[in-house]
Amino acid sequence: MTRMRVFAVLSALSFATALTATPAQAAERPACPVPTKAEAKRSSDAKTDKPPRGAAAIKGVRVNHIPKGFAYGGVSVNKHDGITEYGYQWRDARSEESRKHRSLWVRVVCWPKASKLTQLKNAPFGMGTFSGSTKIMKIGGRQVLTQVGDGALGHGRYVGWVERKGLVVTVMGSRPLVPELAKIIKGIEL
């Protein structure tokens, strides 16, 4: 019986420690993933990763569900108007005009003014704006703004959400990946 009490006390202490550590850990977490100078240079030099990077392709972001079949990838960094856009795009070897072309683009945007989902319609993104007919939906457990991919982004579905104040996440999945979009979105961790 004594062992059971010790175990119960230790379990309660571990639980209490976890509860008190969570706010401290959140305070230590950076407000927004920021690309390194090396990543910015890779982006400006249009360096290609063959094979593409995996789940940790974007520093500070984990993409836990990446569909198979990508041949290459590349980082993208864009800084303008007080915001930083930082992402990674996975692609297969098919022509972009092919309806079977597979591509996935995940991006984080450090935009200090971002706090509500509806703001994404007027976001000052350099590329991938929500300029078409948008809808608010729940996908992958997140409330997102979504639209059908337009010509600039390719075919498929484009979604975005405000993860927390000042941090926006966008995902563009080509048409063959749309059925997996919920898994992709649900698997993104910051």
What tens digit of pLDDT does each residue of 43-74 get?
999 999 999 999 999 999 999 999 999 999 99
What tens digit of pLDDT does each residue of 11-42 get?
333 333 333 334 443 444 457 898 999 999 99
Q: DSSP 3-state assignment of 189?
A: strand
The ranges assigned to domains in the chain are 1-30, 37-189
- Please determine, for residue 169, whether its predicted confidence score (pLDDT) is greater than 70: yes
* Residue 95: per-residue pLDDT: 80
- Please determine, for residue 177, whether its predicted confidence score (pLDDT) is greater than 90: yes
Rounded Cα distance between 119 and 115, Å, is 7
Q: DSSP 3-state assignment of 80?
A: strand
Structure-token match 């008190």, residue found: 20
As a three-state string, the secondary structure of 111-171 is CCCCCCHHHHHHCCCCCCCCCCCCEEEEECCEEEEEEECCCCCCCCEEEEEEEECCEEEEE
pLDDT category of residue 151 using cuts at 50, 70 and 90:
low
Rounded Cα distance between 178 and 31, Å, is 29
> What mean pLDDT comes out for the span 89-95?
91
